[in-house]
Chain A
């Protein structure tokens, strides 16, 4: 992730692009090990400091929960969380995600940590943004080997939440919950629609004209590189040092 367009880093394009999808929301929650979504949530908060709360798991400065590990999930169950992020070792064309294993789950070729809260948050949080930095046929597959959380459900299943978009290092897809399919929304600078087709293991819709993902404007860049970078350094010092060249304050 070091591609630079007009002096803008690839991470900054992703942060701005995600923040646009979070604009004006009341409560954005971010799981562990998510520096780019974390920074995007902080950018969204910086734009609406009186309206937007951000909870980052594993952060001391950005976590106001006081009822133990369960409170985030209880909050989501009540509808008090508007947006959340999920990833996946594999993601398929129906937006099913796999955080468990590759191959037979009883004798896996590769075992990952596990599903965490995904099997639940995907149902309860209205706007779940899938985030995956490796966009290849290995990760974006036709069918996942294990469904940690399904992308769609039968109509009688209580489900106020679900997939909203999938953002990768190459492009942004929107998810159509009615059709149960992704649609290519924009291609990041330096990448092409042909390349996306080649590197995606599942089928998706593609409009006749696919725009390029917008570069962040000057004000957005200032906010990212100023307050957002400083806030993200508390939680992800390595990321902040690499992308923004700043060290965690003592």
Chain B
């Protein structure tokens, strides 16, 4: 079956107000161009799920007012420090924050991947992370006496949103070792994927490549977007644009600076 191929705007148009979208961390394959297209559409009240942490994508979506809820183990810009629009929004109580811990996000997604309602996880008990989550329950290990264990409710995003180096016309998407993207795609109802290049042939024909390929079954639509992770990089492809990221962090310290940055980026993208 052939994949649905759209352009960036067409892909962004699938994300409606209130959608729950899973996003990878900055060191993975991030669909930054698609995030800008979502922002341009003025989508509201998104529920972001960081797998397991969020970075530039979330900061820009939050700054643009697109986000209602943030569910993640952390929001960080790595060596660039704290995420400025996220921090401002938290201090102003402008978003609902669901603090998590990395393996709890993975466990919640794994539950959805298997179609089960929850996943048990060791640790976490007694932390304020656990105490502040209504959707996590401390239960009993049914196979032992007096062994409390955390149960994390399944996380099913409406969309996994990410970038990748390659796809084929059947919507098979190659992610290599970036298998958190595989987990996201399995768990989400559907995936919206941008790729550097859509190739001829079938990526599943070569068993070496097939092992790192998400089958088109999980992929709702794809769009070709060269340099689609910019200004982030894609490991094994191109490096992050450090100057551009620094320019963002500097400008996003204020609301006006952030707006000016986003307007400028939109103008550049339109050329």
Contacts and interface: CB of A to CB of B under 8 A. Distances in A.
B110 to A, nearest CB: 8
Nearest to B90: A111
A116 B74 contact: yes
B101 A117 contact: yes
A119 B53 contact: no
Nearest to B121: A120
A124 B99 contact: no
Interface in B36-61: 51-53
Nearest to A98: B128
A147 B145 CA distance: 27
Nearest to B235: A60
A146 interface: yes
Question: Which secondary structure dominates where chain A touches chain B?
Answer: loop
B122 A77 contact: yes
Given A70-B180, A70-B183, A124-B122, A112 B99 contact: no
B240 to A, nearest CB: 12
Interface string B230-265: 000001000000000000000000000000000000
Q: Which of A74, A114, A147, A150 has the most CB of B within 10 A?
A: A114
Contacts, number: 138
A120 B123 contact: yes
Contacts of B182: 68
Interface stretch (B76-84, B154-162, B193-201): B76-84
Nearest to B125: A157
B66 to A, nearest CB: 19
Interface in B98-150: 99-104, 106, 110, 121-130, 132, 146-149
A119 B177 contact: no
B124 A123 contact: yes
B72 A114 contact: yes
Given A68-B180, A100-B99, A119 B124 contact: yes
Nearest to B92: A107
B102 A68 contact: no
Contacts of B130: 119
